[in-house]
Amino acid sequence: NAGVTQTPKFRVLKTGQSMTLLCAQDMNHEYMYWYRQDPGMGLRLIHYSVGEGTTAKGEVPDGYNVSRLKKQNFLLGLESAAPSQTSVYFCASSYRRDRGNTEAFFGQGTRLTVV
């Protein structure tokens, strides 16, 4: 049982390049999220999905796009990378419940540097 798996773990991009970060979960969770973590700022929500085929914007969505074609996968795309997108990216997933066992499970992160 792998939980939440992110690929790649590290990446260096040049300004203007594009890339896709992949998140896969094997817990049959309905909800999936992409966060970025920057020093002193905590984790901030980029985009999220409440189910297969649906996505929505979080707090800091500009410059990113997402897709959820399959329930177990959530992709984060950068169309034209900028140095401000240098960060550590975390994917998370959770159950769709009103109460109890609603905690999010996180992947190991992708460290992205844009030069």
Partner 1 sequence: EDQVTQSPEALRLQEGESSSLNCSYTVSGLRGLFWYRQDPGKGPEFLFTLYSAGEEKEKERLKATLTKKESFLHITAPKPEDSATYLCAVQGPMDTGRRALTFGSGTRLQVQP
31 binds partner 1 (CB under 8 A): yes
Q: How far apart are CA 9 and CA 91, in angstroms?
A: 12
Which of 19, 20, 58, 65 touches partner 1 by CB under 8 A? 58
Q: How far apart are CA 16 and CA 43, in angstroms?
A: 24
Nearer to partner 1, 16 or 53 (CB): 53
Which of 24, 68, 94, 114 touches partner 1 by CB under 8 A? 94
**In this structure, which amino acid lies at residue 39?**
P
What backbone torsions phi and psi does residue 17 show, to the nearest 5 degrees?
-75, 160
Residues 109 and 90: beta-carbon distance below 8 Å: yes
Contact residues toward partner 1 (CB under 8 A) are: 4, 31, 33, 35, 40-45, 48, 50, 56, 58, 90, 92, 94, 96, 98-99, 102-109
